């Protein structure tokens, strides 16, 4: 995944609204698309990357 600034979207996990110009995370183009907020990325993805 990579950090991006998004116009408007919602997190795939907690469905929080992510307003414009807020840091969030989307999957890279070669992966199935989904978007996570910063806190879900930290809690769900970062631990897996550390394994
Ligand atoms: Zn979230």
Counted domains in the chain: 1
Give the model's pLDDT for residue 5.
Answer: 64
CA of 11 to the centre of ligand 1 (A): 5
Give the range of the structural domain holding residue 42, as residue numbers without chain letter.
2-49
CA of 49 to the centre of ligand 1 (A): 17
1-51 per-position pLDDT tens digit: 878 765 668 899 999 988 877 788 888 888 888 889 999 999 998 998 887
Secondary structure class of 22 (helix, strand, coil): strand
User: CA 30 to CA 39: how far, in whole Å?
Assistant: 23
User: CA 21 to CA 47: how far, in whole Å?
Assistant: 25
CA of 16 to the centre of ligand 1 (A): 6
Tell me if the pTM is above 0.75.
no
Give the model's pLDDT for residue 34.
Answer: 82
CA of 19 to the centre of ligand 1 (A): 13
């Amino acid at each position: 995944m990579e950090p991006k600034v998004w116009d408007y979207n919602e997190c795939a996990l907690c469905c929080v609204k992510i307003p414009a110009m807020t840091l969030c995370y989307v999957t890279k183009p070669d992966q199935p698309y989904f978007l996570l907020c910063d806190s879900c990325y930290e809690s769900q993805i970062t631990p897996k990357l550390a394994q």
